[in-house]
Chains A and B, each alone.
Chain A
């Protein structure tokens, strides 16, 4: 089975930095993905980690520690348009169907 936990809601101020944490327990781990989803829209891909460490993509960075079952998404220089739900998802190996399993999402509100 698998268990993925992330905070339900977070609030941050425009221009600030926010860190969204994700912890997971799963077998056959093969990568961790972060998606952004605006209300009424489909999820869009942000970042992924396969190996331990930090991956940086512009204002967004994602970190993974496989031994701790822990990841975070870091958003810098927050903008109002960053208000959205952020979904953490764990990928499983092919012989377990290559499934992508999602956490419940973190609703981020960016205030002026």
Chain B
């Protein structure tokens, strides 16, 4: 019963490095989203997708890229990491038959030094 799987769980990057956060779901959900969570800020939407081949920007998209080549996978790319991107990142998926609950991955704690 995997649900939503995020990797890695922890990551330290140097300023300017790039990396990809992985997210995979096995529930055949159409909707997938990436959020970041900072202290006192709740969850802020970075990018989202309503299906394979379709992505769009959320509230805080700058510095991040996404793609959705399959229904299952929705990777988040940091192009050139900055200390302001230090945060906890959550991937979520939900079925298209809205409204339905979103299922979250366990999160990735990223530190940029």
Contacts and interface: CB of A to CB of B under 8 A. Distances in A.
A48 B101 CA distance: 8
A99 B45 contact: yes
Contacts of A8: 40
Interface residues of B, number: 27
Given A42-B107, A103-B42, A33 B101 contact: yes
Contacts of B43: 43, 87, 89, 102, 105
A100 interface: yes
Given A43-B104, A104-B42, A97 B48 contact: yes
Interface of B: 31, 33, 35, 40-45, 48, 50, 56, 58-59, 90, 92, 94, 96, 98-99, 101-107
A98 B96 contact: yes
A48 B44 CA distance: 19
Chain A's interface size range is 20 to 34
Nearest to A32: B99
A66 B58 CA distance: 24
A7 interface: no
11 contacts: A30-B99, A42-B104, A44-B104, A48-B99, A87-B43, A94-B50, A94-B98, A98-B31, A100-B45, A102-B44, A104-B42
